[in-house]
Amino acid sequence: MTGVVPMVADPPVPGTPGGVRRRARLRAITLESGAPDRAAAWYRRALGLADADPLLTAGGVELRFTLGTSDAPYTGEPARIILNFLVDDIRAAEARLVALEAVWVRELERTRWGIIGTVLDLDGNYVQIVEPTPDSPACLQRKEEQP
Amino acid sequence: MATPALGSILLGTTNPHRLRDWYTAALTPGDAGGGFTEVTPTMFACTFGDTSLLIDGRDDVADKNSAPGRVILNFHVDDARATADHLNALGVTWLVELEEREGGLFGTLVDPDGNYVQIIELKG
């Protein structure tokens, strides 16, 4: 994260042929785990989701877990991919993570992005909880489906 | 109180401009909005459905993802064959070329950092 910089839109990208009209939707993320069921249960508790839900979704994005093939127990480069979960009540989210005895990489702090805290999931991935403020960048606000 | 939403997925990279250009060309062709916006000089954001992809220039990752299978980004598209044609025209690297499986069409790409990106068209 760097200092305060005004939001500047990139110049429009020239149209590209190919017949693809609607932008792709990021509908799921697949996380490899040494113990996928345990990992899924951790996310359910961390996010406060009901165990009965057949799919583990967070705001329209499904979290999928597959059995890892790597011998390494933890992610070697956790900053490679970071999951940012938007929450309405950061203290409630923090309490769920404390109850899980999650390892905190960064305890809650107020930033230009809102209030953010970072923990490790069971496989060593960085998971951030974010309570955005009205001034937070658009990319950190809750979204509606694109038309 | 709303359920937590996966508001964004951040890709840490040593070369954010290259990664932004790749995702723009691959997944936002012809997008009137221009795809990514600049959040900081080394961070770019683009909305893909209900979540955003953040591309963040960082010095705590290597140039290449050494364990790309650990996290896979799954993008749903309306027309996977047209998307694959478009991607082939761009000269992308496929880990698994587009193929029909139960449930729909699936293909897996490798982005310039080595991350795995799956393209999916589910059968209606």
| pLDDT digits 0-9 by tens, A18-47 | 444 578 999 999 999 989 999 999 999 999
Is there a contact between B123 and B26 (Cβ–Cβ < 8 Å)?
Answer: no
Greater confidence (A128 vs A138) lies with A128
Concatenating the DSSP letter of every residue in B15-81 gives: -HHHHHHHHHHHH-TT-TT-S-EEEETTEEEEEETTEEEEEEE-SSS-SS-S-GGGEEEEEE-S-HH
Q: Across the interface, which of A47, A77, A141 has its CB nearest the CB of B3?
A: A47
* Any domain includes A63: yes
Interface of B with A in 15-34 (CB under 8 A): 24-25, 27-34
Q: Across the interface, which of A23, A48, A145 has its CB nearest the CB of B4?
A: A48
> A4, A16, A20, A87: best mutation site toward chain B, by most B Cβ within 10 Å?
A20
Interface confidence, given as ipTM, is: 0.93
The whole-angstrom separation of Cα B10 and Cα A83 is 6
Encoded tokens for B41: 């000089």
Torsion angles phi and psi, residue A24, rounded to 5 = -60, 150
The whole-angstrom separation of Cα A124 and Cα A146 is 32
Calculate the alpha carbon distances from A6 to A71, A136, A143, B8, B41 in Å: 44, 12, 21, 20, 10
- List, in order, residues 6 or more apart from A110 with CB less than 8 Å away: none
Q: Sort residue A124 into left (φ over 0), alpha (ψ -120 to 50) or beta.
A: left
Task: Determine the structural domain holding residue B51 and report its residue range.
Answer: 8-122
Interface of A with B in 29-88 (CB under 8 A): 29-32, 47-49, 58-64, 68-70, 72, 75-77, 79-88
* Any domain includes A38: yes
* Any domain includes A5: no
Chain B CB within 8 Å of residue A26 CB: yes
Q: What is the CATH number of the domain that holds B102?
A: 3.10.180.10
* Any domain includes A6: no
Contact A81 B1 (CB under 8 A): no
* Any domain includes A17: no
Task: Determine the structural domain holding residue A49 and report its residue range.
Answer: 28-140
* Any domain includes A93: yes
For all residues of chain A together, what is the average pLDDT? 81
Contact A21 B30 (CB under 8 A): yes
Closest by CA to A123, choosing from A36, A55, A28, is A36
Overall number of domains in chain B = 1
| pLDDT digits 0-9 by tens, B87-106 | 999 999 999 999 999 999 99
For position A16, what pLDDT does the model report? 43
| pLDDT digits 0-9 by tens, B11-59 | 999 999 999 999 999 997 666 666 899 999 999 999 999 899 999 999 9
> B1, B6, B60: best mutation site toward chain A, by most A Cβ within 10 Å?
B6
- List, in order, residues 6 or more apart from A72 with CB less than 8 Å away: B67
Nearest C-alpha in A relative to B41: A5
* Any domain includes A22: no
* Any domain includes A45: yes
Residues of chain A in contact with residue B43, where contact means CB-CB under 8 angstroms, are 2
Encoded tokens for B40: 């900081």
This prediction has a pTM of 0.87
pLDDT at residue A146 greater than cutoff 50: no
Overall number of domains in chain A = 1
Question: pLDDT tier at A12 (50, 70, 90 boundaries)?
Answer: very low
* Any domain includes B2: no
pLDDT at residue A14 greater than cutoff 50: no
pLDDT at residue A81 greater than cutoff 90: yes
* Any domain includes B1: no
Q: Across the interface, which of B1, B7, B72 has its CB nearest the CB of A142?
A: B7
The whole-angstrom separation of Cα B91 and Cα B112 is 12
Token pair 């923090």 is found at: A94
Q: What is the CATH number of the domain that holds A110?
A: 3.10.180.10
